[in-house]
Each structure stands twice: as structure tokens, then as C-alpha cells.
């Protein structure tokens, strides 16, 4: 299988332009559905992180001095390579994390768009300048230096692009740690990054969070940290940044409300989009619309169609093009999701789903039926991020009460609204406490549109030009035509 995918038998870290491991420790990458070993990966730790940061620090002055036009050309080469290899990388991710070959190609379209967007955006990104009496004022944007970046396992292609593209475009050097559950496609990309960028500009150290991740966040020569993952780990990363007074950007969890008004024109289309919103990525998405606020007037008809839609989702091998729901990434995640489902059965009405499913030839995989609960907003399953194909449906009939409940979670990453009424759309979007509000199309992500969350969903914005500001700092330079007349004489 590894030969068919073009995988190496072993993946060491990329440090200073060379693939080398300092220690012999490694861990296996296994097929999420079958359990077959795909490769082994170096288990990086403090020694590898120290060497990678040193390489990035040494490469920074020359990279920061590189013209934006030249940095842009290299980012475009990354995009071109991804486009040429998207089909193979899709298969690697399907094996590695259990998502379907039907949906992963969208990850690569998004990732390609990120590298191309920032290749263009950096050409117009600058500070400002203007004349002042007797001189000139300039505010110049400069990169921070070495950036430490940690990404999760659910959408590795997208996560790598969200971190690498803006940081490199802005002139920073990078040490990236991929998640131990989803390293393979990132490490395949790393092989190409080593050919495209000067040595030390991009360094990749795979490993575990409490080893490589902890060493990276604590390193004194890292000048900025960027993390995507759970709020619990996000707090640790933020604390590490605070200890050294360096900037930290965080993209964390979500428990997003998806609101259906009774004036919708096409109930079948809304059912389909709401189903997608809560089950894509096998439900393992921080922005999934996992709380569906459904109005009383259409509740019975909508629920009947929603249950049928959930029950029609085809569960199967991630490699089958007809599969729409693959397996969760690991046994740990499978047990977590089933624990939440068991908790929900004591608090809410189980409308459909709720069980683990066996898929022939994929006995290792944790396939979980898409699950719907009818519940209240204060239940555990409606308040906590499950990270699986589990939807909480909440009835509403009063707008103000619904908005209060929609905002009554610790998160604020994404949200959705379905309505044919402009006033409903505008007043709802205005009052939702979320970084994204999608009206009539959930997960309507566009290249260049800022992405990030309110409250415990994170700090900072990715994807758009705001990300370039997140990876740069301003320096003010004031020019005077001449030395002022004597002051003390």
C-alpha cells in the first residue's frame, strides 16, 4: 500500500534543509480504517526542536531580506505542486485519518488557494507613509523572526496552508509541528518544501504534543506562536507565550449554532446543507454546525426530513468514492464520541443513530452512525464540543430567547442562518457572537475572507490579509529635513 501511495518507509524531521533525526525514537503511522502500518515517523523532541529553531534563526536574516516578489514565486511553486499531486495526497489523507476521498479534494483546493492568495497579498501588504511638516513619517511592517506553529489532525492540508503561507509570505522562518495522528501528507509536502525554499526557512519536526510541541512553545528563540487545536492546549500555548511576552495566535474549538427560520423557501435544500454542516469531516471540525436551532412552525416537517437525510448517509470505507461518512481518526476519538452519545441518551431524545458501525475489511476503524438528539441548549451534548457526527436540535419560537441561547456557549467560531427574509438575516448576523456568520450556505469559506473566533474559539484571524498583520510587527520611522534649532541654548 505504501508503494502505491508513493510513501517513504520512514519520515525524519526536516532541519536546516536536510532530513535528519537526532534521536532514534519513532512512532507508526497507521491506516485509520484498517490498522495497517503505512510508515514510521521520527518522534521529535527537544533535541530536534532546538536544532530546527537554530536553523530557522540562522536562515531568518537572508529570508527576511528577500524581495516579496521572490517569496511569492516560491509560494506559487508550492501551490502548483499541490495541484499536481492532489489526487495522491487525497488518498494518503484518506488512509491516514479516515476521511472520505469524496470530500478531501476540497481541502486541497482550499490549501492551493491559500498559497496563491498570500503570494499575491504580500505584494501589496505594507505599512503607511505620509508627509508631515518638515519631514516624512513611515510605518514599516517587518517579520517577527522564527515562528513556532502547531497544527491538528482533522484537515492537515488546510491547516498547513493556513500556517505556512502567511508566515512565509511575510518573511518569517518557520518550525512546524504536524499532529502525530495526521503527519503523512504534511511530511510528503515537506519533501517538496525542502526543494523550493532555502535551507532553514521551513523546518518540520513531527512528534507528540507533550514532547516536540512543548519544546517548541517554550523555546526562547521562537518569536511568535501559532496553534490550532483544543482550548485546553491553547491555554498552555498562550501561557507559554505570555511567559516570554511574545504574540500568540490561536484557532480553537467551536459549538456553532445553525439557525433555521420558518420562512425558508426550499426545506429540502436547507435540510441537505444543515446535514452537511454537521457531518462533513466525519463531524471532526471545529466549525461544524452542531447546534441546529429549528423553529416550531416547521419543526415536525423539518425533523422528519432531517432524520431521513441522516439515515441515508452512506457509511463505508474512506477509499470508496460513494462513501459520505468515513471513520473517526482513532480509537481514542471513537470512545470519546460514544461517551458523549451515551451521556446524551440520558439527557435528550435520540432521534436517530448513536451506535458504532462495522465496515467489512475495516475492522480497525471507528465508524459511528450520524446521530441526532432533540435536546435543550443547557445539556452537556449541546454545550461541549464532541468532534463527531452528532447534532443537537433545539426548538425555538422567540427570536430574543433563541439568540440568547445561540450565544450561550463558551465558543464563538462559526454560525449559520437560513432565511429568505433580509431583515432576519441582518439582525441575526449582527447579534451572533461568532467570527463567521454564513447565511443560506454553511461553510461558505472564500480565499481571503478572515477566519477566526470570538470568546474561547481563539485569538487572531487566519486566511485573509489580517493574517499578514498577525505575522508582522510595525516599526515607525520619522524623517526630518534637518536638525531642529537649539533647544537648550
- Which are the catalytic amino acids? 251, 286
Supply 58's cell numbers: 540562522
Q: Are 412 and 434 in contact (CB under 8 A)?
A: yes
Q: Which residue has the cell 452512525?
A: 369
Q: How far apart are CA 388 and CA 399, in angstroms?
A: 29
Supply 413's cell numbers: 467560531
Strand 371-374 to 14-15 pairing:
unpaired
Amino acid at each position: 500500500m505504501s508503494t502505491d501511495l508513493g510513501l517513504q518507509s520512514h519520515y525524519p524531521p526536516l532541519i536546516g534543509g536536510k532530513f535528519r533525526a537526532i534521536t532514534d525514537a519513532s512512532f507508526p503511522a497507521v491506516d485509520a480504517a484498517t490498522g495497517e502500518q503505512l510508515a514510521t515517523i521520527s518522534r521529535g523532541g527537544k533535541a530536534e526542536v532546538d536544532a530546527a529553531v537554530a536553523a530557522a534563526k540562522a536562515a531568518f536574516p537572508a529570508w527576511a531580506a528577500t524581495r516579496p516578489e521572490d517569496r511569492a514565486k516560491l509560494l506559487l511553486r508550492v501551490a502548483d505542486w499541490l495541484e499536481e499531486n492532489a489526487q495522491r495526497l487525497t488518498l494518503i489523507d484518506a488512509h491516514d485519518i479516515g476521511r472520505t476521498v469524496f470530500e478531501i479534494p476540497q481541502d486541497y483546493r482550499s490549501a492551493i488557494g491559500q498559497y496563491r492568495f498570500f503570494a499575491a497579498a504580500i505584494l501589496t501588504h505594507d505599512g503607511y507613509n505620509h508627509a508631515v511638516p518638515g519631514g516624512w513619517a513611515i510605518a514599516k511592517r517587518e517579520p517577527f523572526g522564527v515562528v513556532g506553529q502547531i497544527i491538528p489532525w482533522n484537515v492537515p492540508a488546510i491547516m498547513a496552508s493556513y500556517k505556512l503561507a502567511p508566515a512565509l509570505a511575510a518573511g518569517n522562518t518557520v518550525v512546524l509541528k504536524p499532529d502525530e495522528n495526521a503527519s503523512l501528507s504534511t511530511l510528503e509536502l515537506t519533501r517538496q518544501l525542502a526543494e523550493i525554499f532555502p535551507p532553514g526557512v521551513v523546518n518540520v519536526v513531527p512528534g507528540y504534543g507533550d514532547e516536540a510541541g512543548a519544546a517548541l512553545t517554550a523555546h526562547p528563540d521562537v518569536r511568535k506562536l501559532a496553534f490550532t487545536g483544543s482550548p485546553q492546549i491553547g491555554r498552555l500555548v498562550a501561557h507559554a507565550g505570555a511567559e516570554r511576552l511574545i504574540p500568540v495566535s490561536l484557532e480553537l474549538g467551536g459549538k456553532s449554532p445553525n439557525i433555521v427560520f420558518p420562512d425558508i423557501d426550499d426545506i429540502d435544500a436547507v435540510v441537505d446543507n444543515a446535514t452537511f454542516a454537521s457531518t462533513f469531516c466525519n463531524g471532526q471540525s471545529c466549525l461544524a454546525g452542531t447546534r441546529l436551532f429549528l423553529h416550531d412552525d416547521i419543526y415536525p416537517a423539518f425533523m422528519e426530513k432531517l432524520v431521513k437525510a441522516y439515515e441515508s448517509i452512506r457509511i463505508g470505507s474512506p477509499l470508496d468514492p460513494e462513501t459520505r461518512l468515513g471513520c473517526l481518526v482513532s480509537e481514542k476519538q471513537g470512545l470519546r464520541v460514544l461517551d458523549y452519545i451515551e451521556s446524551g441518551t440520558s439527557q435528550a431524545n435520540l432521534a436517530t443513530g448513536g451506535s458504532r458501525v462495522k465496515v467489512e475489511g475495516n475492522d480497525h476503524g471507528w465508524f459511528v452512525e450520524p446521530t441526532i438528539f432533540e435536546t435543550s441548549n443547557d445539556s452537556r451534548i449541546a454545550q461541549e464540543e464532541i468532534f463527531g457526527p452528532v447534532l443537537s436540535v433545539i426548538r425555538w419560537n422567540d427570536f430574543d430567547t433563541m439568540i440568547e441561547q445561540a450565544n450561550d456557549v463558551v465558543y464563538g467560531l462559526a454560525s449559520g442562518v437560513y432565511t429568505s427574509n433580509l431583515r432576519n438575516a441582518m439582525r441575526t448576523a449582527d447579534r451572533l457572537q461568532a467570527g463567521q456568520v454564513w447565511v443560506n450556505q454553511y461553510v461558505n469559506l472564500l480565499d481571503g475572507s478572515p477566519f477566526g473566533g470570538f470568546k474561547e474559539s481563539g485569538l487572531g484571524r487566519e486566511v485573509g490579509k489580517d493574517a499578514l498583520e498577525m505575522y508582522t510587527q510595525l516599526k515607525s520611522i520619522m524623517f526630518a529635513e534637518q536638525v531642529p534649532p537649539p533647544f537648550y541654548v
